[in-house]
């Protein structure tokens, strides 16, 4: 498809977008080879379940991620829907990142199974981006058993479109192998800008797409002639500017390496909406622990914790707290996240919940690092430090109370006798009033 026969050099195509195929489903099959050749999906099996990942075989039935599980089962009654095992996906994701890091330290993870790489700093080594992409792809296959699509381009916009073009295509007839590595040459760029629908652009989800359609804008090329101010009045100034830039093929977003990434988060759409406060708290703790691990893995500390909750009517509430100390500990993240959740005063079923961390500083910077784990009961002996931690965390919770005006906020953490203890007991934590160990905590 590339009409340019000359391979690009690093100055022409410095950006790679690497996207693992059917990531969750592939990990499940790698862990249980008896699933090989069967239609396998990972997702919620319940009535409101959504498919998160579908194997190649499942895709030949027309099953894809974001499809409802009910629809997927209709298309393929023998579909095996497995619940997610995020520990395994994270472990594979870490190995994936390790291989990417062998190519360049300048990479930006997007979720668990995608990264952008900026190869421009490798220029002096005289490497070819296509050769680097093929080598990485071969190692992903040989060492991890994972298939990938890699887009090679001059910017993020085209690299992401390129990885999609590199992937296999699925139909009821079977699988048509993709190129694996796809270089978006200037000819291909021009062809795509002329023919692709607006939905193919970064950040254009169903909502933005329908606004654009309402303005008669269906193809990327339609954006070339639109008045940016008019567009801005419908989608906001920054989106309008970005989209108009995209229509010209311009994308000046840089690859932000993990160290500089703006937020690290984890969220889940539940198979069945959650109505039980304790169950929701467990999900929040799990998200907090994934986020805590990811923050530590990135060698950073965070200061802002955000929670998002989406309800059955699709309305959503986001709450955020920035604390005056730096943290990377899942228990501290969970404590703050649970206080934020509590402050929402949830009274209807929850369809999605998530936790994210932001406002990063590099490890070694920042004031008090909260680090207390369940195994760390020796913390009581370090009284001055514990005192600082107690106060920092207590202040953070008080802040949340004040800002959101919560009447009966419980704590995920109990303070007693100078001991900071994480309370994992069912029924005695963050979703209702509880008896606290010290009077300073009662409110």
Q: Which residues bind Mg ion (CB under 5 A)?
A: 19-20, 23, 113
Tell me, letter by letter, the H, E, C secondary structure of 74-132: HHCCCCEEECCCHHHHHHHHHHHHHHHHHHCCCEEEECCCEEEEECHHHHHHCCCHHHH
Catalytic residue among 108, 114, 189, 330: 114
Pairing of strands 148-153, 181-183: parallel
Q: Residue 369 in 3-state DSSP?
A: strand
CA quadruple 435, 436, 441, 443: dihedral, nearest 10: 0
Smallest separation (angstroms) from Mg ion to the CB of 23 = 5
Cα separation of 48 and 43, whole Å?
Answer: 10
Closer of 19 and 118 to Mg ion (Cβ): 19
Smallest separation (angstroms) from Mg ion to the CB of 114 = 6
Pairing of strands 107-110, 114-118: antiparallel
Q: Where in 7-64 does DSSP place strands (E)? A: 15-20, 40-43, 51-54
* 28 part of the active site: no
C-beta of residue 159 within 8 angstroms of C-beta of residue 115: no
Element of type H or E holding 340: helix 330-344
Burial 117-134 (b: 16+ CB within 10 A, else e): bbbbebeeeebebbebbe
Cα separation of 402 and 424, whole Å?
Answer: 25
Closer of 113 and 189 to Mg ion (Cβ): 113
Closer of 30 and 244 to Mg ion (Cβ): 30
Closer of 113 and 342 to Mg ion (Cβ): 113
Closer of 113 and 118 to Mg ion (Cβ): 113
Backbone conformation region of residue 101, classed left if phi is above 0, alpha if psi is from -120 to 50, else beta: alpha
Residue with tokens 């950040």: 203
Smallest separation (angstroms) from Mg ion to the CB of 192 = 20
Q: What value does the CA radius of gyration of the chain take, rounded to a whole number of Å? A: 24
Closer of 55 and 392 to Mg ion (Cβ): 55
C-beta of residue 137 within 8 angstroms of C-beta of residue 115: no
Residue among 62, 65, 61, 56 at smallest CA distance from 26? 56
Q: Is 26 exposed, middle or buried (0-12, 13-18, 19+ CB in 10 A)?
A: buried
The tally of CA atoms less than 13 A away on the side-chain side of residue 150 is 28
Backbone conformation region of residue 180, classed left if phi is above 0, alpha if psi is from -120 to 50, else beta: left
Smallest separation (angstroms) from Mg ion to the CB of 20 = 5
The residues carrying an active-site annotation are 114
């Amino acid at each position: 498809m590339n009409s340019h026969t000359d391979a690009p050099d690093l100055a022409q195509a410095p950006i790679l977008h690497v996207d693992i195929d059917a990531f969750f489903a592939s990990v499940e099959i790698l862990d249980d080879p008896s699933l090989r050749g069967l239609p396998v999906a990972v997702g919620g099996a319940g009535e409101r379940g959504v498919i998160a990942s579908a194997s190649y075989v499942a895709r030949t039935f027309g099953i894809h991620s974001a499809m409802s599980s009910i629809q997927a089962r209709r298309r393929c009654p023998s579909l095996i829907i497995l619940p997610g095992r995020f520990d395994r996906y994270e472990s594979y994701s870490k190995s994936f990142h390790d291989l990417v890091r062998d190519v360049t330290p300048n990479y930006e993870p997007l979720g668990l199974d995608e990264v952008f790489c900026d190869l421009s700093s490798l220029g002096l080594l005289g490497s070819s981006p296509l050769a680097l992409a093929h080598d990485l792809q071969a190692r992903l296959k040989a060492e991890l058993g994972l298939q990938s699509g890699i887009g090679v381009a001059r910017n993020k916009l085209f690299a992401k479109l390129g990885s999609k073009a590199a992937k296999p295509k699925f139909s009821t007839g079977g699988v048509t192998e993709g190129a694996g590595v796809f270089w978006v040459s200037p000819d291909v760029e021009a062809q795509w800008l002329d023919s692709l629908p607006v939905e193919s652009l970064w950040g254009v989800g169903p909502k933005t797409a329908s606004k654009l359609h309402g303005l008669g804008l269906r193809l990327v090329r339609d954006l070339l002639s639109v008045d940016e101010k008019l567009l801005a009045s419908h989608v906001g100034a920054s989106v309008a500017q970005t989209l108009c830039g995209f229509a010209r093929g311009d994308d000046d977003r840089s690859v932000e390496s993990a160290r500089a990434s703006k937020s690290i988060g984890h969220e889940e759409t539940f198979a069945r909406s959650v109505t039980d406060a304790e169950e929701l708290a467990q999900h929040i703790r799990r998200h907090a622990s994934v986020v805590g691990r990811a923050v530590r893995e990135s060698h950073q500390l965070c200061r802002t914790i955000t929670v998002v909750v989406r309800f059955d009517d699709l309305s959503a509430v986001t709450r955020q707290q920035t604390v005056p100390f730096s943290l990377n500990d899942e228990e501290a993240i969970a404590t703050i996240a649970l206080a934020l959740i509590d402050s929402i005063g949830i009274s209807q079923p929850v369809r999605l919940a998530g936790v994210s961390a932001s406002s990063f500083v590099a490890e070694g910077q920042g004031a008090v690092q909260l680090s207390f784990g369940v195994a760390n009961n020796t913390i009581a002996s370090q009284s001055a430090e514990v005192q600082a931690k107690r106060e920092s965390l207590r202040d953070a919770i008080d802040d949340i109370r004040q800002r959101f005006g919560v009447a009966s906020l419980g704590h995920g953490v109990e303070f007693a006798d100078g001991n900071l203890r994480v309370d994992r007991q069912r029924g005695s934590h963050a979703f209702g009033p509880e008896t606290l160990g010290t009077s300073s905590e009662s409110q």
